[in-house]
Amino acid sequence: MIKLENVSKIYGKNIKALQDISLKFAEGELIILKGVSGSGKSTILSLIAGLSKPTFGEVIVDGKKISKLPDHFAASYRRDNIGIVFQKYNLIPELSVQENVLLPLFPLNLPREDMRQKAKKVLEMFSIEHKSSLMVRNLSGGEQQRVAISRANINDPKIILADEPTANLDEKLSREFIEILRELKSKNRTIVVATHDPLFFELDFVDKIVNIEHGKLL
Amino acid sequence: MNKINFYLLEYAYSYIVRHKNKNIFIVTVFTLLVALLSTLFFITSSLQYELKERISNQSDIVIQNYKAGMPAAIDTALLDKLLEIEGITAGKLEVKGKYYFSQKKSTFYLLGVDAFEMQDDPLIVKLLDQYDLSDSEMLVSKNVKDVMNQAYYKEYFNFIKPDGSLQKVTIKAAFDVGNRVELKNLIIMSKDTLRKIFGYSANKGSDIALSVANKNELDFISSKIRLLLPNAKVTSKDDLLLEYDRLFDYDSGVFLSLFVIALFTFFIIIYDKANGLSSEEKREIGILKAIGWCVEDVLHAKFYEASLLSFFAFTLGIAIAFVYVFVFKAPLLGAIFTHENMLDIQNFQLNVHIELSYILLIFLLSVPVYIAATLIPSWRVATLDADEVMR
């Protein structure tokens, strides 16, 4: 369960990204945050991920006040619960596919075999295992998208957050991505997608569409 | 941080490789700095060690006579007077001095010996045991022999006496001085022959060498001698040590000017690093935080990165300095430490003598500074909201 209670976020002195927003998402739901660029969609994702803290209000995930977590706990919360797919993928181009996918687990210092198995499993799941040793910069946009999704799923997170995930993809690849979302939803993942791509608004498996404009819910 | 995290170590290594142009520059300056400093310390500590060894073979106090501010012969009669001073256990009149060979622009060091006299230097003792020197013969170092050969003196050498006449002395043998820097230009002959070359009469010598029972009293006895012989130059072992120390302080100053340039560049790098990261570097830290790394993890990886780079540059710098000084004999820079009247390292292997405290000092001056300069800006960025960093 994800809850935003009267959340406002102000950047700098007076840039109001969100104004008194309250939202509630149930486990296993697919939610679309709809709005134009700068409407505040990404800020909501960022607050749910614990990447930033609200100026006012609370963000509560599974009963925990995320907005109050100190850095160390916020990091482990993200690692254990959240998978993020960024608009520009935010991969490290000079690392291999496997290294990028395993990057969230590096601080855990797990045995090599465990790491290898985890990478294999997730890369197979998103059909990119055959490129595991290639450097990310040599992959196409669609392949990079798959690597980003693989990385977001490396630790079986309960919540997937995707920020404009199809902004850099053509329609065919966008539809492939939507199929991946369908599969993730079937595994009872809670998925929040921030997008203004019309492809998402007509999907039969979307549970909720939230319209945002100028930091407010419509 | 108890256990080495090899994933973070590999990540740190890959980070260095990914930013290779910048890091090659840093490693170059870092290595140069360490190599310059280490060269300074290697040369000075090696030479100082040599000099102290040399001094240990010398007499406790040496007295030279001066007339009108110029060195002059000293009379053997003074010796009896000096031996009356309490604390002095033995003394001898020495005949020795420099001889400038203008044809080859070389300065020989001539030492007069007496078969019945005790010698302090083990090499001289060994040579005198090996060879019986007559008044017309001399022993020369291999270097002196080479110089003489170049001037076509193969069997003998003609020394020019103060009155312009020649003193012919036959070369009995050439000896190897090994690593004894100071004996490179040594010639050994009888005291009588040397007196003829220097124009001394039979009871005169170049100086008087004294042995003192209690080495802690060197200064005290030296001052007593100065009172007794106000015109004489009294030099104790302690004075020599001080003189060498002052000399190396001066040389180190010359060398330090080179070091300052390297240090200046190093601090520009430190300043640049400490003042912040590039947008690309910041973004990467933001990504790491977004995917679940905490501040400690980021700093852990950055610590590895800075340690790998600085340890590599430090080790490389030390290795370069070692090879430069002890294998290649410090070409160019070694000349700063060369003194014609004392040392000539050109034909000598500087002996490996390294003060570990100096290495530790260089390490503390460079590695922790660099690691701190890497960690501080990374910490600043890592403690910001990841969202803010990636925007």
Predicted ipTM? Answer: 0.90
A198 vs B241, residue with greater confidence: A198
Q: What is the mean pLDDT of chain B?
A: 85
Tell me what the mean pLDDT of segment B9-29 comes to.
Answer: 91
Last residue of a domain, one of B208, B236, B264: B236
* Domains contained in chain B, number: 2
The answer to whether residue B68 scores a pLDDT higher than 80 is yes
B49 and B93, same domain (yes or no): no
Identity of the residue numbered B128: L
B287 contact A CB<8A = yes
Tell me the chain B residues in contact with residue A78 when contact means C-beta distances shorter than 8 Å: 290-292
Residues B169 and B313 in one domain: no
Report chain B residues whose CB lies below 8 A from the CB of A104.
Answer: 291-293
Same structural domain, B16 and B99: no
- Taking the Cβ of residue B295 and every Cβ of chain A, the question of whether any pair is shorter than 8 Å is answered with yes
B328: CB partners within 8 A, 6+ apart: none
Burial B184-217 (b: 16+ CB within 10 A, else e): bbbbbbbbebbbbbbebeeebbbbbbbebeeeeb
Is B18 in contact with A94 (Cβ distance < 8 A)?
Answer: yes
> For residue range B321-349, what is the model confidence (pLDDT) as tens digits?
999 988 887 877 766 665 544 454 444 55
- Cβ-in-10-Å burial (0-12, 13-18, 19+) of A170 comes to exposed
What domains, with CATH codes, occur in chain A? 28-53+71-217 (3.40.50.300)
| B119 and B200 share one domain | yes
**How many residues belong to chain B?**
391
CB A8 within 8 A of CB A34: no
Residue B71 sits in the same domain as residue B172: yes
- C-alpha–C-alpha distance, residues B38 and B33, integer Å: 8
Interface contacts (A, B; CB < 8 Å):
83
Regarding whether B168 and B69 lie in a shared domain, the answer is yes
pLDDT at B345: 46
Inter-chain touch A78–B284, beta carbons under 8 Å: no
Regarding whether B338 and B227 lie in a shared domain, the answer is no
Q: Provide, as residue numbers in chain B, all residues whose Cβ is less than 8 Å from the Cβ of A72.
A: 294-296
Q: Is residue B324 domain-resident?
A: yes
Q: Residue B134: how many CB atoms within 10 A of its CB?
A: 12
Determine the distance in angstroms separating the CA of A51 from the nearest CA of chain B, rounded to an integer: 5
Residues of B80-106 as b/e, b for ≥16 C-beta within 10 angstroms? eebeeeeebeebbbbbbbebebeeeeb
Question: What is the three-state SS of B106-153?
Answer: EEEEEEEECCCCCCCCHHHHHHHHHCCCCCCEEEEEHHHHHHHHHCCC
Our CA-based measurement puts residue A92 at a distance from the nearest CA of chain B, in whole angstroms, of: 8
Q: What is the pTM of this model?
A: 0.75
**Same domain (yes/no): B367, B264:** yes
Quote the minimal CA–CA distance from A79 to chain B in Å.
4
Segments forming the whole domain that contains residue B291: 6-53+243-390
Region of B31 on the Ramachandran plot (φ > 0 left; ψ -120 to 50 alpha; else beta) = alpha
CA pair distance B265, B271, nearest whole angstrom: 10
> Measured between CB atoms, does B9 come within 8 Å of chain A?
no
Tokens 């950047």 sit on residue: A11
- For A192, phi and psi rounded to 5 degrees? -120, 120
Task: Indicate the residue of B11, B290, B383 with minimum beta-carbon distance to A106.
Answer: B11
Cα separation of B354 and B322, whole Å? 10
Q: What own/partner pairs with CB < 8 Å and gap ≥ 24 does B69-75 have?
A: B71/B206, B71/B233, B73/B198, B73/B200, B73/B201, B73/B204, B73/B205, B73/B206, B74/B204, B74/B205, B74/B206, B74/B207, B74/B208, B74/B232, B75/B203, B75/B204
B70 bridge partner residues: B67
How far is the C-alpha of B106 from the C-alpha of B148, rounded, in Å? 10
- Considering CB atoms only, which of B14, B290, B301 is closest to A95? B14
Q: Give the least confident one: B10-19, B38-47, B146-155.
A: B38-47
DSSP state of A51: S
Report how far residue B278's alpha carbon sits from residue A78's, in angstroms, rounded to the nearest whole number.
25
Contact B291, A78 (CB under 8 A): yes
Instruction: Specify if B212 maps to a domain.
Output: yes
Residue B55 confidence (pLDDT) above 80: no
Work out the widest C-alpha separation in chain A, in whole angstroms: 50
Higher pLDDT, B288 or B55: B288
Per-residue pLDDT for chain A (218 aa), expressed as one digit of tens each?
Answer: 899 999 999 988 888 899 999 999 999 999 999 999 889 999 999 999 998 899 999 999 999 999 888 888 888 899 899 999 988 888 999 899 999 999 999 999 999 999 999 999 999 989 899 999 999 999 998 899 999 999 999 989 999 999 999 888 888 888 989 999 999 999 999 999 999 899 998 889 999 999 999 999 98
Is the Cβ pair A107, B293 closer than 8 Å?
Answer: yes
Whether residue B92 is predicted with pLDDT greater than 80 in this model: the reply is yes
Mean of the pLDDT values across residues B31-46? Answer: 85
Helices (H), B1-141: 6-18, 20-56, 77-83, 122-130
pLDDT greater than 70 at residue B56 = yes
Whole-angstrom distance, CA of residue B265 vs CA of residue B269? 7
User: Do A51 and B386 lie within an 8 Å CB cutoff?
Assistant: yes
Let me know if residue B1 belongs to a domain. no
Q: Which residues of B touch A51 (CB under 8 A)?
A: 289-290, 385-387
Instruction: Decide which of B236, B257, B290 is a domain's last residue.
Output: B236
Judged by CB atoms closer than 8 Å, whether chains meet at A71 and B287 is answered as no
What is the structure's pLDDT at A113? 95
B92 and B167 in a common domain: yes
Integer CA distances (angstroms), A204 to A175, A176, A190, A191, B236, in order: 13, 15, 16, 15, 102
Best mutation site among B17, B387, B391 for testing chain A: the one with the most A CBs within 10 Å? B387
CA atoms of B16 and B38, how far apart (whole Å): 25
Q: What is the pLDDT of residue B29?
A: 86
Least confident of A23-32, A51-60, B224-233, B269-278: B269-278
Do A106 and B7 make contact, defined as CB atoms within 8 angstroms? yes
**Cβ pair B184, B177 in contact under 8 A:** yes
Query: Which tens digits make up the pLDDT trace of A43-64?
Result: 999 999 998 899 999 999 999 9
Task: Check whether residue B151 and residue B218 sit in a common domain.
Answer: yes
Tell me: the pLDDT tens digits for B174-202?
A: 999 876 767 888 999 999 999 999 999 98
Q: Do B386 and A52 touch (CB under 8 A)?
A: yes
Is B210 found in the same domain as B274?
Answer: no
What is the amino acid identity at position B50? E
Residue A78: closest C-alpha in chain B: B292
Interface mutation vs chain B, best among A43, A51, A112, most B CBs within 10 Å: A51
Nearest CA in chain A to B290: A51
- Quote the crossing angle between the two packed helices B295-322 and B279-290, to the nearest 10°: 130
Task: List the alpha helices (DSSP H) in chain B.
Answer: 6-18, 20-56, 77-83, 122-130, 142-150, 191-198, 218-228, 237-274, 279-290, 295-322, 356-382, 386-390
> Which of A56-60, B56-60, B310-314 is predicted least confidently?
B56-60
Among candidate residues B180, B201, B236, the one where a domain is terminated = B236
The verdict on B71 and B29 lying in the same domain is no
CA distance B355 to chain A (A): 40
Contact B291 A151 (CB under 8 A): yes
The CB-side HSE value for A167 (13 A sphere, CA atoms) comes to 15
Given the structure tokens 């270097």, which residue do they identify? B143
B100: in domain: yes
More confidently predicted of B376 and B3:
B376
Alpha-carbon distance A204 to A98, whole Å? 33
Q: Which residue shows structure tokens 């852990």?
A: B300
